[in-house]
C-alpha cells in the first residue's frame, strides 16, 4: 500500500512539473513577442542596416547560434531568460528587410496581420493536438531536422540564384517543417522530455518565428498589391 501511494505521489509530482513547465513556457513565449516587436520597430524606424548576401547570412547564423549556445548554457538562471529576450530583440531586428518589402505593398499592413493571425492559428491548433493526442510525434523530428538542413542549404544557394519560385518553395516547406517541430516540441514538454522552460521557449519561439516569416513571404508573393 505504501509503495502504491509513493507511485501516485510520484506521478502527481511529475504531472505538476509538466504543467508548470508548459505554463511557464507559454508565458515566456508570449513575453518574447514584446522584444521581437520592439526590435522590428527599431529596425523600421531607424533604418538599421542589415547584412546582405552570403556573408550577411553567415554572420546572421553565427550571431543566432551564438545566442542559442549562450541561452542553453545559462538556461537554469535568470541570465538565460535575459539572453533569450535579447535574442528575440535581435530576431525582431532581422525582420526589417522582410517588413520593409511587405510594407511597400499597398496592402502590406493587412498582409502582416494575416501572417500574424495565421501563425497564431497554426500554433494554437498544433499545440492543442500535441497536448491531447496519444500519437507519438517523436519520429517527425528526424525528418523535420533533415528538411531543416536542406532548406538552410537551399536558402544559402538561392542568395546567388535569386529564383522567386525557389524562395516560394522554401517558404512552403518551412511552414511544414516548423509545424512538425511544434508538434514534437510541445509533446516533449507534455511527456516530461523537456523540463526547462527556457529551452522549451527557445524551441517554440524559433518554430513560430520561422512560420511567420515563411507565411509572410508567401502572402507577399501571392497577394501583394502595388496599385
Q: For 33-72, what is each residue's pLDDT tens digit?
A: 999 999 999 999 988 787 778 888 889 999 999 999 999 9
Cα–Cα dist 129/187, whole Å:
9
Please, which contacts does 140-147 make with residues 24 or more away whose CB atoms are closer than 8 Å? 140/180, 140/183, 140/184, 141/180, 141/181, 141/184, 143/180, 144/177, 144/178, 144/180, 144/181, 144/184, 147/173, 147/176, 147/177
Asked if 203 and 156 touch (Cβ cutoff 8 Å), the reply is: no
Of the candidates 7, 13, 5, 25, the residue with the CA atom closest to the CA atom of residue 131: 25
Q: For 118-172, what is each residue's pLDDT tens digit?
A: 999 999 999 999 999 989 998 888 889 999 999 999 998 888 888 888 999 999 9
Q: Which spans in 133-162 are helix H?
A: 138-161
User: The pTM is what?
Assistant: 0.90
Asked if 80 and 71 touch (Cβ cutoff 8 Å), the reply is: yes
Cα–Cα dist 159/56, whole Å:
10
What is residue 60's three-state secondary structure? Answer: helix
Cα–Cα dist 172/166, whole Å:
10
Amino acid at each position: 500500500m505504501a509503495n502504491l501511494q509513493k507511485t501516485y505521489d510520484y506521478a502527481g509530482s511529475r504531472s505538476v512539473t509538466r504543467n508548470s513547465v508548459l505554463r511557464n513556457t507559454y508565458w515566456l513565449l508570449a513575453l518574447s513577442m514584446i522584444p521581437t516587436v520592439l526590435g522590428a520597430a527599431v529596425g523600421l524606424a531607424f533604418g538599421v542596416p542589415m547584412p546582405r548576401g552570403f556573408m550577411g547570412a553567415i554572420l546572421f547564423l553565427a550571431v543566432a547560434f551564438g545566442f542559442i549556445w549562450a541561452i542553453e548554457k545559462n538556461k537554469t538562471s535568470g541570465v538565460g531568460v535575459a539572453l533569450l529576450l535579447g535574442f528575440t530583440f535581435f530576431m525582431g531586428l532581422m525582420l526589417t528587410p522582410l517588413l520593409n518589402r511587405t510594407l511597400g505593398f499597398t496592402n502590406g499592413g493587412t498582409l502582416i496581420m494575416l501572417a500574424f493571425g495565421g501563425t497564431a492559428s497554426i500554433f494554437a491548433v498544433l499545440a492543442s493536438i500535441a497536448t491531447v493526442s496519444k500519437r507519438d510525434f517523436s519520429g517527425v523530428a528526424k525528418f523535420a531536422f533533415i528538411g531543416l538542413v536542406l532548406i538552410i542549404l537551399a536558402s544559402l544557394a538561392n542568395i546567388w540564384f535569386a529564383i522567386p519560385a525557389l524562395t516560394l518553395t522554401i517558404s512552403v516547406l518551412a511552414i511544414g517543417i516548423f509545424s512538425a517541430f511544434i508538434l514534437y516540441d510541445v509533446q516533449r514538454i507534455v511527456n516530461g522530455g523537456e523540463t526547462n522552460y527556457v529551452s522549451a521557449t527557445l524551441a517554440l519561439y524559433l518554430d513560430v518565428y520561422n512560420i511567420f516569416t515563411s507565411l509572410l513571404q508567401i502572402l507577399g508573393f501571392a497577394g501583394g498589391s502595388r496599385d
